[in-house]
Amino acid sequence: MATPIPIPRQSQDTFDDHAVSSSPPFTRHRVTDYGTSPHQSSPTFNHAAGSTVNVRPKVLKPFATEELRLLLLENISQDAVRAFTDLGFQVDFHKKAFSEAELLDSIGKYHAIGIRSKTKITARVLKAATKLLVIGCFCIGTNQVDLDTAARAGIPVFNSPFSNSRSVAELVIAEVIALSRQLFERAYEMRAGTWNKLSAGCWEIRGKTLGIVGYGHIGSQLSVLAEAFGMRVVYYDVLNLMPLGTATQVQDLETLMSQSDFVTLHVPELPETTEMISTKEIGWMRRGAYLINNARGKVVDIPALIDALESKKIAGAALDVYPTEPGGNGQPFDDQLNPWASRLRALPNVILTPHIGGSTEEAQRMIGFEVSSALARYLSYGATLAAVNFPEVDLRAITAEQDFIRVCYVHQNQPGVLRQLNEILSDHNVEKQYSDSKGDIAYLMADISHVSEADVQDIHDRISRTKANIITRLLT
């Protein structure tokens, strides 16, 4: 296994504008066997008379502590690394993805892990992750994580579904222009020493029709950009969605494919989207049209696309994603990886890029901010808002004047659990409580008062012994 790049813990107790919140400074924080939390940021309360007062945040009072350790893989944004180290977490940073064997060898000592799209968090890895509390996917997709197994283990998974939308939309516009003007063919010829000035088969994009398959955050942003270039926009989505600008929703994929000069795909990887564009669908396209896929590699039947390009049924294509991709930079994209790779690479009218749709400084900074914020909120406060596999629960902040303990209880979703829990908490005052469920998993947060330091271990142990318990944390 590769040696981690050590990230030293920061000595200061505050964090700067790279950190995970724009709130006032946090105290460096540690975790106990039953969890601890840094104090909350200073909330402002409105009084009846209309005046406001700032309430001091609660100061961290850890019990027996263990450093929170995070494993960050795949060259995650340094802004995220700084955010975690400024909070006092111990971070091990690697530029590469880890194999399953490397994860099995190391995951047992970490409380959190951050990955992008190449590292696979399988059921075997999760079984070995005996301390793991949370997973952060610093990307859009989460299909690299066994979400159901993670949920059953009490581990929420967070991602960043929207932070790179603008970057991907701009890449599509660049590809539309490059394809319509044959920019890559002319560039290759010039590098080979050939001057080939021509206009045949080169077009303005003004007045052309862009067909968008999937009108989510990327598709809708792309719609606005395309109209600014004078394009007509049609879109197809399984949901009825309000258009932006003058875009028009069509009722089926065939209508979109047959009307469009450019077809661009923006759908998730699901069983129903696997090879949703194959020989039949390409046959619906206009002769001389273009296909763009910056969504998921398995959405397009690549051999069928190659056949259409070689036969000149369509004029060109742009691909940023592939069914199987290399594990890291510098590794080959060849026939051993995908048996059709050499045929695809030989086509001059195809733009091939190495999954760079979200690879901009702005997108990676926003992804790092969003996911690191979510991980810190869960580790520090128990909040699961925006988790993809988990009940979404949060409570308002605890202040310094409130001598509360926060109970975070992940349990099986079955009858009688709340009665049993509340019996355990009955000797104390329950100040706030919220619970939600998702499938077989339920999550409860409660703030309790009138708890002595000697009571904390007893409360933790009694809740942990309940039959439905998955993970119990007490934050103070």
- DSSP 3-state assignment of 51? coil
Structure-block tokens of residue 51:
């005046």
Q: Are 138 and 117 in contact (CB under 8 A)?
A: no
Residues 187 and 193: their CA atoms lie apart, in Å, by: 10
Give the tokens for residue 253.
Answer: 């994929």
376 membership: H or E segment, kind and range: helix 361-381
217 carries an active-site annotation: no
Q: Is 325 a catalytic residue?
A: yes
Answer yes or no: 296 catalytic.
yes
Give the amino acid at 373: S
Beta strand 441-449 with 429-438: parallel, antiparallel or unpaired?
antiparallel
Residue 113's nearest CA partner among 123, 101, 126, 124 is 126
Write the DSSP symbol of residue 438. Answer: E
Strand (E) or helix (H) holding 253: helix 253-259
Catalytic residue among 170, 189, 254, 325: 325
Q: Strand (E) positions, 56-204?
A: 69-72, 90-93, 112-115, 134-137, 157-158
Strand ranges, E, within 139-208: 157-158
Q: What is the DSSP letter of 228?
A: H
Show the CA angle centred on residue 116, arms to residues 124 and 110, nearest 5°.
Answer: 50
Strands 52-54 and 44-46: antiparallel
Return d(Cα 250, Cα 461) in angstroms, integer.
Answer: 58
Rounded Cα gap, residues 276 and 258, in angstroms = 15
Max alpha carbon distance in the chain (Å)? 86
**Would you report the helix, strand and coil content of the chain in percent, each value rounded to 5?**
30, 20, 50
39, 94, 296, 406: which one is catalytic?
296
> Rounded distance, CA 459 to CA 476, Å?
13
How many residues comprise the chain?
A: 476
Per the residue annotation, which of 28, 82, 355, 406 is the catalytic one?
A: 355
Residue with tokens 């992940």: 410
Angstrom distance (rounded) from CA 380 to CA 94: 24
Which active-site residues does the annotation give? 296, 325, 355
